[in-house]
Amino acid sequence: MIQSVSGEAPLPEVPPFPTHVLPPIVHRYVSDAAHAIGVPDDLVAVPLLAAAAACIGSTASIVLKPGFEQRPILWAAVVAPPGSAKTPALDADTRALRELHYEAWRRHELEQENQPKENQDRTHKPPPLEHFFTTNATMEALPPICQDSAGVLVERDEFGAWVKSFDAHRGGRGGDRQDWLSCWAGKGLKIDRKTSDPLFILHPAISVVGGIQPDMLGQLRNDAGRDGFIDRIRFSYPDVSPALWSDDAISPEAFTDVLTSFATRDGMMGTSRCT
């Protein structure tokens, strides 16, 4: 049993996470990582689903009926107290995206270096950089990131800090929360600014993941407002205990399989690709 946020009554025991429904590649990685880090499967599986959603992004969708199409967009927060290894579990989940972003960055730099010198002037636009994740980006910075990326994961070690950052640079008088509600729905973005060219992203796919302490849930509810924003967040609140040190590690084969699935964007969730 775990205590409720208010401390007044114990919460019911959490059933085991249904890892058996995951594709074999994902199941193996979740089991390996959870065992090596010393955490429940939930702390690995839920953020990994958000990372997979961001990687798939606009490359695949489910057509529920004509005119109703859904792309993978997931906001996920794992709830656990300090010392429960939330951050190592999150690092294990976003490791593949970091590898992919590093490779994309290397290709981007190499393409810039190989550009003919006569094209390296102020009018020449460098080749676009595909993004896979960001750890801190304003709402204004996200559309350019999404323009050349299938999907993007906003990774915040402290989930509450993401919500607190809304309109931080505008004295709390902006519309960041409303803009994020539109992003959760996958609505197209058209940005017009006097000082830059217009941007249009037909299918933005921005997922968000992070961890939060139980005592901060009430503050998160207050900061998120009462317009349905918090209802869009998928919370995972497993039974945890302090993580103990272990010499076990994630097998290289398990990580390579997940990395390959993320890189190809095919079969990572055990379904065929559809657009």
Distance from C-alpha of 249 to C-alpha of 178, rounded to nearest angstrom? 42
Question: Is residue 183 a part of any domain in this protein?
Answer: yes
**pLDDT tens figures, 222-252:** 887 778 899 999 999 998 888 788 889 999 9
**What pLDDT is attached to residue 270?**
45
| Position 240 in a domain | yes
Percent above pLDDT 90 for the chain: 48
Tell whether 3 is covered by a domain. Answer: no
Q: Are the CB atoms for 274 and 60 separated by under 8 Å?
A: yes
Give pTM, 2 decimals: 0.85
Q: What is the pLDDT of residue 273?
A: 35
The encoded tokens of residue 146 equal 């999404």
Within-domain flag for 86: yes
Both tokens of 199, joined, read 């941007």
* Better pLDDT: 242 or 85: 85
Tokens of 79: 């709830």
Letter string b/e over residues 36-74, b meaning 16 or more CB atoms within 10 A of that residue's CB: bbbbbbbbbbbbbbbbbbbbbbbbbbeeeeeeeeebbbb
- Domain-embedded: residue 14: no
- What pLDDT, on the 0 to 100 scale, is given for residue 246? 84
Q: What span, in angstroms and rounded, lies between the C-alpha atoms of 62 and 273?
A: 9
Mean pLDDT over the full length of the chain = 85
pLDDT tens column, 16-26: 899 999 999 99
Domain hosting 77: range is: 20-114+125-264
Q: Is 9 a member of any domain?
A: no
Task: For residue range 151-198, list pLDDT tens digits in order.
Answer: 999 999 899 999 888 866 655 566 788 888 889 988 888 888 777 788
Number of structural domains, the chain?
1
Mapping DSSP to helix (H, G, I), strand (E, B) and coil, where does residue 65 land?
Answer: strand
Q: The domain spanning residue 94 has which CATH number? A: 3.40.50
- 12 in any annotated domain: no
**pLDDT tens, 37-51?**
999 999 999 999 999
In a domain, 1, yes or no: no
Per-residue pLDDT band for 271 (boundaries 50, 70, 90) equals very low
